[in-house]
Amino acid sequence: MKKLLKMEIYEATHNNIYLLMIGIAIVYGVYSGYGDLEMNYYNLTLGGYEALIAMLHDAPGTCMLISAFPALLIGKSFSNRTLITKVASGNSRGIVFFTKAASILIITTVAILIYSFSGAFAVTIKYGFNAPSGVNVITLMKILICTTLLYLAIFSVIILLGVIFRDNLKTIIVSVITILMNAIYLFVARSMNLPLYRHPMNLLRVILNNNSTFEFISFSLEGIILLGFILMLSYNIFRKCELK
């Protein structure tokens, strides 16, 4: 399994789709980093920390922007028959599925984090990091770990859609629409008093200004549980589906 995972990551990182995703994340991240300084959601001192928090706050929109890439990667794996080739080579469906899912989730989450940190890095060079006095390495690590787990849970939905449709175009369209509808729901739920608190996209924002130990553990556990549930559901579909 370890060798197959290395091969999956190698294939993904040498794929033009991945390189394009990273390039867009860096360029758009630097652009957004300076643009978000005007928003100043949390009344912070001008600097890299303000840009980082503002860009993490924009996570729902960023998820929608990035979602087409993992959808293309999983859809392409079915379309070009690489999955059936690996199964036919003697690998179990379980190993093939989880290595593919892990590689896509890892590189997608890395890309979205690169987006946030590239913007913060660019702003830091010009203005300094300027984190508030109460913010330390532990605080930043809690935010980073929690947001990473929530990103993994959100993007695991694309894996589920990929094994349901097993088609490049359908997976991309439905994935982008799904992420878009959740982002819209997040926007309108506040004004319409709709259920919102435990929505993963909302938790991505809540953890930024309420990262107590309890919230950190609670939100992280929700990310892990959602990720595990969606991946197991996806695997059960993949295990029984016909690979053409």
Domain ranges within the chain, ordered by starting residue: 2-240
Q: Percent of the chain at pLDDT above 90?
A: 41
Per-residue model confidence (pLDDT) at position 244:
63
Residue % of the chain over a pLDDT of 70: 98
State the pLDDT confidence band at 235, using cuts at 50, 70 and 90.
very high
**pLDDT for residue 80:** 82
Q: What pLDDT, on the 0 to 100 scale, is given for residue 236? A: 96
Confidence band of 174 (pLDDT split at 50, 70, 90): very high
Encode pLDDT of 107-155 as tens digits: 899 999 999 899 999 999 989 999 888 788 889 999 999 999 999 999 9
243 pLDDT higher than 90: no
Q: 34, exposed or middle or buried, with CB in 10 Å at 0-12, 13-18, 19+?
A: middle
Residue 146: per-residue pLDDT: 94
What pLDDT digit, counting tens, does each position of 24-81 carry? 899 989 988 888 776 666 678 889 999 898 888 888 788 888 888 899 889 888 888 8
pLDDT in tens, 89-109: 888 999 999 999 999 999 899
What is the predicted pLDDT for the residue at 217?
Answer: 93
The secondary structure of the chain, three-state, reads: CHHHHHHHHHHHHCCHHHHHHHHHHHHHHHHHHHHHHHCCCCCCCCCHHHHHHHHHHCHHHHHHHHCHHHHHHHHHHHHCCHHHHHHHCCCCHHHHHHHHHHHHHHHHHHHHHHHHHHHHHHHHHHHCCCCCCCCCHHHHHHHHHHHHHHHHHHHHHHHHHHHHHCCHHHHHHHHHHHHHHHHHHHHHHHHHCCCCCCCHHHHHHHHHHCCCHHHHHHHHHHHHHHHHHHHHHHHHHHHHCCCC
Dihedral Cα 187, 192, 198, 202, nearest 10 deg: 20
